[in-house]
Each structure stands twice: as structure tokens, then as C-alpha cells.
Chains A and B, each alone.
Chain A
Amino acid sequence: MPDAGTRPSARPGTRLLWPALALPGMAWIALLFILPLYVVLAIVFGRMDPVFRTPLPVWNPLAWDFSQFTFVLERIVGEGGYFGPALARTGVYVLVASSLCVLIAYPVAYYTARYARRKALLLTLLIAPFWISYMMRMLAWVNLLQDDGLVNQALSFGGLFPGDVNWLDGRSSTVVLGLVYGYVPYMILPLYAGLDRIPAPVLEAARDLGASRWEAFRRVTLRLSRPAIVAGVLLTSLPMLGDYFTSDLLSGSPRTSMAGNLINSSVQTPGQTGQAGAFVLIVLLVALVPMLLYIRTVRDPSAVRS
């Protein structure tokens, strides 16, 4: 007769059940997530077949050869560092695009959380971009921004502007707008979740104690929503770090290429596998701190669940 006080996890059957359930998934992660990341290291720090120009991975970390990695590093910071501009540009684009995302997403999320009357409908519309593929959303803008597209037609309609802007011929502004358009939904949802959680009585208390509306917003709402802003910025800027298709579709010019474009073009060039791996490693290192930061906010139950 089982004792009502014992927890089931103390039983031998249960002790084995949980590991048995977790094991297939853990094996999958080990083989197809951890191992591949190690393969990247083995290729970056490996050698290249001099004849076939194929990578020869070196599995033993003690025998790693750093020449491919330093080759890439020298071309980032050195005199003729032709990788440098793309990486710097990535930083600027991500910074500008993420800031614009906050500026757009915050009022929208704030309105939805606080004032919206038909909240369910509004939320459905705000989530809709998640169900529309990124490529289709970019295709939509490619259509609109054609030389004879609707944007130019609309501009020339009033006769105010000539309406002959070549939007798609390598403009930073077009690419940044594409990034904002593509990723801003990822900002709105965590912001909404964070703002929705702020109890109204806290704000009322601030007002009762004499804070002006602006002060109550600045010192209560804004401060309490800070973890949500951080989560949103991370959720939008991390994928931007590896984005190459936005620049490809909306510009196609090397003048707007980003870190993702460096990875993409070297992956597809035979003999540059090690270089592609080095770019992957660099982006991974840059993304590491934001990634860990995001994981911490997700794990912390008091912060935003996203």
C-alpha cells in the first residue's frame, strides 16, 4: 500500500521514466546541435586540401591551426580590410533598426495593453505577420518599391515629388526599413506581454501620490517594462545579425551587405568553407552575450515569459 506521503519521483519506476522520456530529445540535441557546432570549430581551425580546396577538419583541439581564422581577422581590421565595412554596417543597421522597432512597437503595445477595447481582434492582427512568411513580406515590398511600383506612383500622384526614386538599387534606408518591417512583430509581443502584466493599481497609486501622467509613465511603467524592452530588443536584433536575405532582396548591392551576406557568399564559394566557418564563429561570439542575457530573462520567472 503506497504511503500517501511519498512523492512518486522516489519510486524506481518514476526515476527511470523521466530520463527515458528525455533521452531521445537529448540525443537529438547532442548529435544535431552540439556536434555541428563542434564541426564548425574543427573546420575553422582545420586545414584545407591544397588540391581539391575542400576542408580537412581537425578534430583534436591540440592540433588546431589558427591560420584560416587569423586570415579572416586580418581582413577585418587590417589595411585592406574588406570584411570590416560589412561588419561595421551590420552593427549600425541592427542598432538603427532595433531602435526604430522600439519606437514603433512601444506605443502599439502600450495602447493594446492599456486602452484597446477590442483586444482579441487587435492581438490577432498584431500576430498576423507571424503567419505570413518573411519572404512573402519582402516580396510585397519588392513589388511596391519597383521603379513603376505603387510607392513611386503614390509619390508622383500629388505632383509633389518626381516619383522616380530607385528604391531597390542599394539604399541603406530601404534595407533598414525592410529589417524594421520584418522584425518589429517580434518586438511587439514581448512588450505587450510585459506591459499587460503591470497592475493598474500601481499606476493609480503613483497618480494619487501626486505624479503627473508623464512622471507616472516614466518612473513606473517604463521602469517596470524594462525587462520586456530588453527581451524585445534581443529577439529582434539576434536574427538581424544573421540576416542576408533582406539586403539581397531589397538592395542586392554589396554597398548594403551585412555579416549574413559575408557568411552566405563564402558558404557558396568552393574553397571558402573555412572562411564561412570563421564568419559563423565571429557572429556566434558577438551574439553570445545577448543570447545568454535572453536565456536569463526567460528563465527568471519574474521577468517576461515570451
Chain B
Amino acid sequence: MNRRSGHGFLALVTGAYLLWSLLPVLIAVLFSFNDSRSRTSWQGFSLRWYFGDPERSVWYDDSLQTALVHTLRLGVLTTLIVVPLGVALALGLDRWRGRLPAGANFAVLFAFVLPEILLAVALLFVVTTLVTPLQLGLSAQVAGLVTFQLSYPVIIVRARLVTIGPQYEEAAVDLGASPLAAVRRVLLPMLAPAILASAVLVFADVIDDFVIVRYLSGDAATEPTSVKIYNSARAAPTPALNALASLMLAAALLAVAVGFGVYRYLTRGQRTDTQELLV
């Protein structure tokens, strides 16, 4: 009796929290389908802000379309670089003992908790005061994002390596495999779910990134959606801005859904550890 009322209250708090947390975003998505310029009063359903309006819809407004394409480009490029780099680093740091790898491990964790703006300003200084191959725009943005995201695959893969243990690759080496072959043919397949999880996390995080990509963008052509939203949110935007944000949300959810499906396929028959996907 007493017990019931106790967690009834908790259930109420949780429900209220979920409503507060998700409803505003759902309303913002809803208004991207509004049939008028207003973002506050509903005038009926339409797709004009996606492609109906010949000037201001996401499809026809060049600046919005550029932002969308650039965001996806950053997401794909960063994920392609960060995942192999991070997985190799995780393997190396996990098995290589010494001061140097311990220091590198510390740096990875340090980068994970460093407020993003500090790294963004530091990288901006590097690009603007040193002579480097990096240019403000795509190359600097990708370099910055890779640095900031590198800790995800390292932390996730290392957590998985701890549960795998060294015995499988030891067995492979004892059976005559070279160390590299043992990594490639024994460890990597076992790590596949963790690698996939980190790729999804990195991609979804990169397409939402704001601080690094804003400071390291060269001009309007290299400003992704998050910067577009920041620039125009307070300047009487049309629901096309909501449409742009909704498309990014759809891209992130799609990546997560596909990733989750493949994850389930890879780990079929195993006890799935949801914790792993949550980080």
C-alpha cells in the first residue's frame, strides 16, 4: 500500500519529465509542417517548408541546402577517420604497457571532459597563427571534430576489450597466427558491435556539433545546420528552419535505428549489454 503510493509518485515525476523533455521538440517538428509563416499558430498541414515554397523551402533555399549537405559531409568524413584511428589506438593503449601509452590514455580522457569551446579556440589559434595544411572550412572542421570525438571509440572499444580478455588472441597466436592476424581475424570480429556502436555515436554527435564547427568554419558555405539555426533562431526565421532541424533529427534517428538493427544482428545469440550502446 505504502509501497504503491511511493512509486506512483516517482512514475508521475518520470512521466512529467519525459513530457517536458520531448514535447517541445515534437512541437518544433510539427510546426515545420505548418501551412503559414508562423511558428506559433497552427494553420494546417503542408510540406511547403520542405520543398513546396520555391524560394524559402529547404529544397530551394541554397543556403539551407548547403548547410544540410555540409553537415552530412562532416559526419561521414569524421566518422570514416575517427573510427579506424580510435579503434587502433584503443587496441594499442590496451595492450601496450608503459608511461607513454598511460599518458596518451590520460590525454584521451582529458579530451573527453574538456569543455568543447576550449579545444575549439585552441584549434582556431593553431589554424590562424601557425602555417599548417589546415584551412578554415572543411579540413580544419574535420580535424577538430576528429580530435574531439576520438575518445568515444577509444573508451567504448577498451570497455569491450576488458570483457573479451586476452585469451582468444593468445590461443590464436599459439595455434600459429601472427599477432597481426590474431588481431584482424579474432579480435576485430569480436569488437564489431563496439566499433559499430562508436561509429553511430560519433556520426550522430558530429551532425549535431556546434562549437567546433562554428569557430573553424571558413565562410557561409562551410556553416552546418547547427550554425544556421544559431544564426537565425532569434531573427524571425520561417518554419523552414524547423524543417532543416527536423531533417537533421531524422538523419540522426535513421543512423541510430540502422546502427541498432545491425548491432542486434551482430550480437544475435549473445546476451546484449544495453549499457554498451548507452556509453
Contact = CB atoms under 8 A, between A and B. Distances in A.
B123 A32 contact: yes
Nearest to A290: B113
B262 interface: no
B104 A249 contact: no
A294 B115 CA distance: 13
Nearest to B201: A130
B118 A280 contact: yes
A87 to B, nearest CB: 14
A20 interface: yes
A18 B40 contact: no
Nearest to B169: A8
A120 B274 contact: yes
A29 B274 contact: no
A22 B92 contact: yes
The B contact surface, by secondary structure, is helix
Interface string A35-57: 11101100100000000001101
Contacts of B159: 305
Given A17-B183, A132-B249, A39 B130 contact: yes
A143 to B, nearest CB: 5
A244 B117 contact: yes
B127 to A, nearest CB: 9
A108 B106 contact: no
Nearest to A25: B89
Given A123-B278, A248-B230, A22 B88 contact: yes
Contacts of A244: 117
Contacts of B39: 143, 146
Contacts of A284: 114, 118
Contact of A142 (B14, B86, B234): B234
B252 interface: yes
Interface size class of A (residues with CB under 8 A): 35 or more
Contacts of A13: 178-180
B129 interface: yes
Contact of A131 (B146, B245, B252): B252
Given A22-B89, A280-B122, A135 B115 contact: no
Contacts of A2: 173-174, 176
B17 A104 contact: yes
Contacts of B124: 267
A125 B25 CA distance: 13
A189 B275 CA distance: 10
A242 B115 contact: yes
B122 A40 contact: yes
A83 interface: no
Contact of A127 (B27, B118, B278): B278
Interface in B64-101: 85-86, 88-89, 91-93, 95-96, 100-101
Interface stretch (A73-81, A110-118, A156-164): A110-118
B115 A36 contact: no
A267 B215 contact: yes
Contact of A29 (B147, B166, B207, B208): B147
B126 interface: yes
A34 interface: yes
Given A120-B274, A264-B117, A139 B233 contact: yes
Interface centre among B27, B93, B126, B169 (most CB of A within 10 A): B126
A205 B226 CA distance: 51
Contact of A22 (B13, B96, B234, B253): B96
A306 interface: yes
B245 A139 contact: yes
A39 B183 CA distance: 37
Contact of B18 (A4, A36, A125, A295): A125
A203 interface: no
B191 interface: no
Interface of A: 2, 4, 7-9, 11, 13-14, 17-26, 28-29, 32-37, 39-40, 43, 54-55, 57, 104, 107-108, 110-112, 114-116, 120, 122-123, 125-144, 146, 148-150, 153, 168, 181, 184-185, 189, 193, 213, 234-235, 238-239, 241-245, 248-249, 252, 260, 263-264, 267, 273, 276-277, 280, 283-284, 287, 290-291, 294-295, 298-299, 305-306
14 contacts: A32-B144, A104-B17, A133-B245, A134-B208, A136-B246, A150-B40, A153-B40, A184-B21, A239-B115, A241-B115, A267-B124, A284-B118, A287-B114, A299-B109
